[in-house]
Amino acid sequence: MTKLTHVDSKGEAQMVDISQKADTEREAVARGRVMMKLATLEQIRKAGLEKGDVLSVARVAGIMAAKKTPDLIPLCHPLLIGNIVIDFDLARDDSIGITAKAKSTGKTGVEMEALVAVSVTALTIYDMCKALDREMTIAEIYLESKKGGKSGTYRKKEKK
């Protein structure tokens, strides 16, 4: 079993030393979902909320959050993020799917940046729509894939 990298031999929290690692291209994709009433989703689809275009605001919030990841997650390294892309899937009648893809060239991965982007995007959707639907649920936030670095490529296995 692999040991926790953010815990030292005494069981104390530590920042992982990446100073000797080589720079490599890194990419991570995270996903999440906000479940809601059909009426709420219809208002979002037609940009009918008084607060404005929910998806545009949520997209910008997610991008900004990804850039602030080390301020939110205590042991994350500050990264020079090359790109963050946030997409929405409105195909279902009960939810909005969120995908965040983060890219960087550096000594450590961008998984946390992608996960933070999805999380804050979902929270922004909730915030902008809560007057219509306080029963919205944020769920299914997970790392779908990552590329780069010593550990190579990871892709989440599909549930059977």
φ and ψ at 59, to 5 degrees?
Answer: -60, -50
**Active site positions, annotated:** 127
Rounded distance, CA 142 to CA 110, Å? Answer: 13
| The two three-digit tokens of residue 11, written as one number | 């069981």
The reported pLDDT for the residue numbered 52 is 74
58-71 average pLDDT score: 97
| The two three-digit tokens of residue 157, written as one number | 């296995």
108-121 confidence digits (pLDDT tens): 889 999 999 999 99
* Number of folded domains that form the chain: 1
Give the lowest-confidence range in 34-38, 104-108, 143-147: 104-108
**In this structure, is residue 53 part of a structural domain?**
yes
Tokens 């939110």 correspond to 72
Structural domain range at position 66: 36-147
**In this structure, is residue 62 part of a structural domain?**
yes
Torsion of CA 110, 100, 40, 60, to 10 degrees: 80
CATH number for the domain including 86?
3.30.70.640
